Amino acid sequence: MFLAIYMATMFGNMLITALVVTDQHLHTPMYFFLGNLSCLETCYTSAILPRMLASLLTGDRTISFSGCITQLYFFCALVATECCLLAAMSYDRYIAICKPLHYSTLMNTRFCLQLAAGSGLNGCLATAIVVLFMSHLIFCGPNEIDHFYCDLIPLIKLSCGDTHLIILLDFVLACVFTLPPFLLTLTSYVCIFTTILRIPSTTGRQKAFSTCSSHLIVVTIYYGTLMIVHVLPNRDTLNILNKVLSLCYTVLTPLVNPLIYSLRNRDVKEALSKAVSTYVSFTKTGS
């Protein structure tokens, strides 16, 4: 089952990335961010699922300390980057719908690159600080991680040293990378919906809503599960729930994102149809 999920996730996200790169009609800020999002989800799913698949196949569930810290770094850095990137996507939709006359000026190529690069830089630097603290912890107790991958809190529980500082650091960074982007996204969509309701024609309202509804679905699932797992107080009674929610944003969200964006987005469907038609024509010509 997990192999099928991983293959479908890789195929869907790589397909969207390829469409955004090759189709000239998708060379807009909205699809630039969508292509970056698909790349991120391809990478951070690959940071977890291949190792899980190897464990399920061979029965060997051991992982070295360096391997565990490496998995923790890449996964946390990519998740933090995606939090910032989703906020940038909501800002892009806000400018497109609420200030359409200024869209081409405000969301120019340079600014889009700065937003994407800034998201990645913030995620990598913040995670580097956490991993630096983690690498100096003393692990002398049990060595069984109560999770299906190397997440921060389950690893901290294995340490026999003073962990108050890193727990506080984890809480602060989790709040910084989830609450401000979520509030920015929420504010953007309040302004967007207010603007949409002022559009006189029903067709115009439907078209405007369709451009942002897909992103709103993704944001709700992603930020909601992240905040429950990392921001709410950690309790043993919530341990099983946290594992299930972690499965949502690590495995299920990257799987459904291509479906949400492709099935609910006319431009992506048209680009996919054009690519399929071109491939069929090429195949017939070659034969």
Q: What is the H or E stretch that residue 274 is in?
A: helix 266-286
Q: Give the count of beta carbons closer than 10 Å to the beta carbon of residue 181.
A: 25
pLDDT of residue 262: 67
Q: How far apart are CA 115 and CA 95, in angstroms?
A: 14
DSSP secondary structure letter of residue 234:
P
Q: Which residues have C-beta within 8 Å of that of residue 222, sequence separation ≥ 6? A: 82, 83, 86, 249, 253
Pick the closest to residue 197 from 209, 188, 185 (CA basis). Answer: 209
Dihedral sign of CA atoms 252, 32, 119, 182 in order = negative
Each residue's pLDDT tens digit in the chain (287 positions)?
889 989 999 998 898 888 888 888 888 888 899 889 889 989 988 999 899 899 888 888 888 888 989 999 998 899 899 889 988 988 998 898 888 888 988 899 999 999 999 999 999 999 999 888 888 888 877 788 888 888 888 888 888 878 888 888 888 888 888 888 888 888 888 888 888 777 776 766 676 666 667 667 777 878 887 777 776 665 555 667 777 778 877 888 888 877 777 666 777 777 777 777 766 665 666 55
pLDDT of residue 74: 93
Contact 4, 63 (CB under 8 A): no
pLDDT of residue 77: 92
Residue tagged 């679905």 (tokens): 217
Chain segment 192-229, per-residue pLDDT in tens: 888 877 777 676 667 666 666 766 777 787 888 777 77
User: Taking the model in full, what pTM does it have?
Assistant: 0.86
Q: How far apart are CA 282 and CA 183, in angstroms?
A: 48
Q: Give the count of beta carbons closer than 10 Å to the beta carbon of residue 63.
A: 17
User: Half-sphere exposure (CA, 13 Å, Cβ side) for 267?
Assistant: 17
pLDDT of residue 113: 94
pLDDT of residue 185: 86
pLDDT of residue 120: 92
Pick the closest to residue 138 from 239, 77, 65, 67 (CA basis). Answer: 65
Q: How far apart are CA 108 and CA 87, in angstroms?
A: 17
Q: How far apart are CA 11 and CA 257, in angstroms?
A: 12
DSSP per position, 116-160? HHHHHHHHHHHHHHHHHHHHTS---S----SSSS--HHHHHTT--
% of the chain surpassing 90 pLDDT: 14
Angle between helices 164-197 and 65-98 (to 10 degrees): 20
